Amino acid sequence: MQTVNILNQIGNTPLLKLKQASEMTGCNIYGKAEFLNPGESVKDRAALFIVKDAIKNKKIESGGIIVEGTAGNTGIGLAVVCREYGLKLKIVIPKTQSSEKKETLKRLGAELIEVEAVPYSNPKNYIKQSKLIADKLTNKKGVFWANQFDNLVNTESHIKTTAEEIWVQTAGKVDGFTCAVGTGGTLAGVSIGLKDKNKNIKIALSDPMGSSLYSFIKNNKLESKGDSITEGIGTGRITKNFDKALVDYAFQTDDTEALNLIFRLYENQGVFLGGSSGINIAGAIKLAKEMGPGHNIITILCDKGERYKGKLLNKDFLKQKKLPIPQWL
């Protein structure tokens, strides 16, 4: 009988051509189908590298405890990896995150600690609380705070896997890349990895409303306006991972534009994605228009829309937020 290790299935995701976005711009726009990872998101990559690095450096061993503050997807990735390595997992998560992600974390064996959603500047922010919890815990097999936002192994995971895969899959014919930022690891790692192969590849930040990074790239000021229902992206600070990103352009997208794109993608290509993918696709369209027809643009399709069905498929919620409601809902 032929079997595989689930961790060996992380990465090597295919590129999906985004037909409508490509037709709109005259470019070839592709999305890296990260929702096909075992934990169903791009965060599986960083989770695997962070845990393997901690084990390699003897910070933790089987039976030990990993603690992390996460909006959900990194937690799910860590839960998948921790199961394989026999590690326990404590997740600190804002109460505002989707119930679907929380239930998935529980099913995977993670202990959830839900806290109020407050800015990073607040001492009760979920990231800061996760560090405090990690510092207080003791375990003979080790306690490790994953620290995805400032742990540069996150960026390394995307230099070594995501960027390399994109280069191979496009046979080196990639002209631009864009994605949103949560930790900054994906944008930093892919930008470093691709520009190392061709310095002329253009890199763009795709930012939701409510985030300060668009303003930072444009005006060198951390200022924000508006808000967003998207989860896991957008931030008001410069993480150590994002600080490494090599960014040429920045674009900002509101939820109406993002949701229209993911609903149309579902109608036209049968793929239902989360809101962050809508922000990314919008950014890819804007980058394509900036660069002009004939270019190959890559973005990240982060996770599945089913992970947010309580919001994205909830007519009352969408109506309350004055967001588009697809005809098929």
Q: Is 131 a catalytic residue?
A: no
Distance separating alpha carbons of residues 82 and 177, to the nearest angstrom: 31
**Count of CB atoms situated within 10 Å of the CB of 238:** 15
Residue 68, beta-bridge partner list: 91
Distance separating alpha carbons of residues 202 and 151, to the nearest angstrom: 25
Residue in 22, 206, 276, 277 annotated catalytic: 276
Of 112, 101, 37, the closest CA to residue 231 belongs to 101
Q: Is 276 a catalytic residue?
A: yes
Residue in 22, 32, 43, 191 annotated catalytic: 43
Report the catalytic residues. Answer: 43, 276
